[in-house]
């Protein structure tokens, strides 16, 4: 979070949007600050930069359902299309009790940057519902998903906006969304979402893609400072589809994972955690709590463990300036979206900690989502080996391009990624012009 909340007089710097609370601007304010930092590098394209701090389309929907006991419950849902200048919107759907419009706007903005930074032909979008998936029955969750899909159906579609899984959602959520959209349209539309089950047009390699991308960018970042994965010490926050897969790949490459954390427990073992055993425990028990292969520690102690790679792969806003002062790592690899606040980013840079930004590090998921979308359109599917090879090539090339800009302009990898992405988005915006 920001060191001090801005006062209403400075609200225009947050995008000047009337529906944001200037007393609690995060995380949209973080995104706006990141955009502001690239203004000096935009040249003549700066005249279009305001389009990046004003989302193109924001939809708030009521999601009413009949509960199993016959009562009617209402849930608040969102879909934000931040930019469609370079192609249809692309971004996940988050089911979490703390989801806010502010958060979804920021996540949509980061998707715009992420897609452009790695060269995917998408704009940025994001969605969410304020619901705890664990607090409702399976039937209730399906009804919530179907009603939400119907409500946002007016703005999504294979060539308009393509949702995907995020926190609290999975392949089955996407299957229900695809089926609902298809039923409303009167024909099967596999390309309306990505991250689907294989039987419904999903892609091999999609489930592991985000964690694999985190590992690839960590490896490339390590090479820039002469740090090898084999023998490296790793700490991972978040042990789900991103953190768990990344931890497994680090483990398989010879790294020693010293600590892991999820919503149920924070655990450490100085000799290294048996990651396959930890993953099996989570699969059987729903979380790390009770895993016998490591000892519980305080979450603040977790951030101070001396390591080579620190992977925040949970939610945004985890690395605050105070934590950034205490972190003892050589490289931070952002598996989550927005885990480091701008102020904390500055602290880490001053301390010489290399940060691989979220818009690059966790782009593996949307990259393989792009592959899935292409495969659905062509009805021709690739092998998992082909998927992983294409992902590897794209991520390595994107890292190299961003590293080059960072070195050339003497800026952080995050600012370099934003420079590349903003140029691509704003050039498209300028070429298209304004309608009418």
Catalytic annotation, residues: 126
Rg (CA), the chain: 21
- Mark 263-278 as b/e (b = at least 16 C-beta within 10 Å): eebbbbbeeebbbeeb
Q: How far apart are the first and last CA of the chain?
A: 39
Q: Say if CB 5 and CB 22 are below 8 A apart.
A: yes
- Mark 99-120 as b/e (b = at least 16 C-beta within 10 Å): bbbbbbbbbbbbbbbbbbbbbb
Q: Say if CB 316 and CB 34 are below 8 A apart.
A: no
Q: Say if CB 324 and CB 339 are below 8 A apart.
A: no
CA distances from 161 to 59, 272, 290, 384 (A): 13, 42, 41, 25
DSSP output for 332-350? EE--SSS-B-HHHHHHHHH
- Tokens standing for 229? 């994965």
- Order of strands across the sheet with 295-296? 295-296, 266-268, 256-261, 233-237, 309-312, 331-333, 354-356
Residue 254 Ramachandran class (φ > 0 left, ψ -120 to 50 alpha, else beta): left
d(CA 255, CA 71): 52
């Amino acid at each position: 979070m920001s060191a001090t909340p801005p006062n209403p007089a400075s609200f225009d710097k947050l995008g000047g949007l009337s529906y944001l609370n200037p007393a609690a601007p995060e995380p949209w304010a973080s995104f706006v600050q990141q955009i502001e930092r690239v203004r000096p590098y935009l040249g003549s394209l700066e005249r279009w930069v305001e389009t990046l701090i004003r989302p193109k389309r924001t939809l708030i929907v009521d999601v009413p359902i009949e509960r199993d006991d016959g009562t009617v419950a209402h849930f608040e849902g969102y879909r934000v299309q931040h930019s469609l200048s370079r192609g249809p919107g692309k971004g996940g759907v988050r089911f979490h009790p703390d989801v806010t419009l502010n958060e979804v706007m920021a996540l949509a903005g980061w998707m715009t940057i992420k897609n452009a930074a790695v060269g995917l032909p998408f704009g940025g979008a994001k969605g969410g519902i304020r619901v705890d998936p664990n607090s409702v029955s399976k039937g209730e969750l399906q009804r919530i998903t179907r009603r939400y899909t119907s409500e946002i159906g007016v703005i999504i579609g294979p060539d308009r906006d393509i949702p995907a899984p995020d926190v609290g959602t999975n392949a089955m959520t996407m299957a229900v969304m695809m089926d609902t959209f298809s039923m409303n349209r009167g024909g099967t539309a596999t390309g309306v979402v990505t991250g689907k089950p294989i039987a419904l047009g999903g892609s091999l390699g999609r489930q592991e893609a985000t964690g694999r991308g985190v590992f690839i960018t960590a490896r490339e970042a390590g090479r820039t400072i002469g740090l090898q994965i084999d023998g490296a010490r790793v700490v991972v926050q978040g042990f789900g589809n991103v953190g768990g897969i990344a931890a497994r790949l680090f483990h398989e490459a010879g790294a020693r994972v010293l600590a892991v954390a999820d919503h149920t427990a924070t655990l450490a073992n100085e000799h290294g955690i048996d990651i396959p055993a930890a993953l099996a425990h989570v699969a059987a028990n729903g979380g790390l709590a009770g895993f016998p292969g490591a000892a519980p520690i305080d979450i603040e102690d977790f951030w101070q463990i001396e390591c080579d790679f620190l992977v925040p792969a949970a939610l945004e806003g985890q690395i605050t300036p105070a934590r950034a002062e205490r972190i003892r790592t050589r490289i931070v690899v952002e598996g989550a979206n927005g885990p480091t606040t701008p102020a904390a980013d500055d602290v880490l840079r001053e301390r010489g900690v290399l940060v691989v930004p979220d818009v690059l590090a966790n782009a593996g998921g949307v990259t393989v989502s792009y592959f899935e979308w292409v495969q659905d359109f062509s009805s021709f599917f690739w092998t998992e080996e082909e998927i992983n090879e294409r992902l590897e090539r794209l991520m390595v090339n994107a890292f190299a391009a961003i590293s080059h800009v960072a070195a050339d302009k003497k800026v952080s990898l995050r600012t370099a990624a934003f420079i590349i992405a903003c140029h691509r988005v704003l050039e498209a915006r300028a070429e298209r012009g304004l309608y009418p």
